[in-house]
Amino acid sequence: MPTEDDVAAALRPSATIDSGHPAVVAFAQEVAGKIAGDRERAVALHDAVRDRFRYDAYKLDLSVAGLSGSGVLANGYGWCVPKAALLAASCRALGVPARIGLADVRNHLSTARLRGWMGTDVFYCHGYTAILLDGRWLKATPAFNVELCRKMRLRTLEFDATADSIYHPFDLEGKRHMEYLRFRGEYDDIPREELLQVFAEHYPRLGRLDGASWSQDVDAEASKEDHHG
The CATH number of whichever domain residue 81 belongs to comes to 3.10.620.30
Per the model's pLDDT, the better-predicted residue between 146 and 97 turns out to be: 97
HSE-CB for 170 with a 13 A CA cutoff: 4
pLDDT for position 227: 38
pLDDT at 228 over 50: no
With bands split at pLDDT 50, 70 and 90, how would you rate the model's confidence at 10? very high
Report phi then psi at 8, rounded to 5. Answer: -60, -40
In which domain, by residue range, is 149 found? 4-228
Alpha-carbon span 19 to 21, nearest angstrom = 6
For 53, the 3-state DSSP assignment is coil
Alpha-carbon span 201 to 199, nearest angstrom = 5
Per-residue pLDDT tens over the stretch 164-216: 998 776 667 777 678 899 999 999 999 999 999 999 999 887 766 767 898 89
With bands split at pLDDT 50, 70 and 90, how would you rate the model's confidence at 229? very low
Per-residue pLDDT tens over the stretch 22-76: 999 999 999 999 999 999 999 999 999 999 999 998 888 999 999 999 999 999 9
Q: Domain tally for the chain?
A: 1
Alpha-carbon span 199 to 149, nearest angstrom = 26
